[in-house]
Amino acid sequence: MYIAYHPLYNHPVPENHRFPMEKYALLPQQLLYEGIATASNFHTPEVFTFSMHAQTNYPFEKEQSDKDIALPNGTDDKTYLDILRNILPQLIEAYQPDFVFYQAGVDVLATDKLGKLSLTVEGCGERDRLVFETCHRYHLPVQCSMGGGYSPQLTSILRAHTQTFAIVSGIYN
């Protein structure tokens, strides 16, 4: 999940939204290539980056986020979700972001040939639900991007990605 501000942001802004965004943005991510698409591009005090990733995953020399949680190989649904459930509200309270950019990577799946975590498709769905419900509770707009997915079981990747849209639809309708 990421939160980012860019001066070229030109999408409709919700009523009562502060613009330009003065507070930190929050960028939690679930990428296999930890930090490449976010932390290295946001070395600025206006953006807060957060990453949960396998500690021994590629790249071996990782970009540093503002908050990194390096997880042991094989981390399962319960452990992953317990950590995220605990830390996400704390980060939102501490940094009070204006916008969330969420990278819903599925390379956290146990079936992924490159990832080193062991989430199930259902665990990915619970992660998405947790992120979107938390952001909704804090009235934070969210931009979600699909990412990752190197499982030889293409149906696992597709199920994980399509359930993200179903979850979002249920929360925001």
What is the pLDDT at residue 171?
Answer: 94
**105-155: pLDDT as tens digits:** 999 999 998 889 999 999 999 999 999 999 999 999 998 988 888 888 999
In which residue ranges of the chain is pLDDT below 70? 1-43, 58-60, 62
47-60 CB burial, b ≥16 within 10 A, e <16: bbbbbbbbeebeee
> Which strand (E) or helix (H) includes residue 89?
helix 77-95
Residue 145 has what pLDDT? 87
Where do we find the tokens 């957060």? Answer: 50
pLDDT for res 81: 98
What pLDDT score does 111 carry? 94
Environment class of residue 90 by beta-carbon count within 10 Å: exposed (0-12), middle (13-18) or buried (19+)? Answer: exposed
Q: Answer whether 130's CB lies under 8 Å from 81's CB.
A: yes
Q: Is the pTM of this model over 0.85?
A: no
pLDDT reported for residue 162: 95
pLDDT for res 59: 62
What's the confidence (pLDDT) of residue 64? 80
The predicted pLDDT at position 168 comes to 94
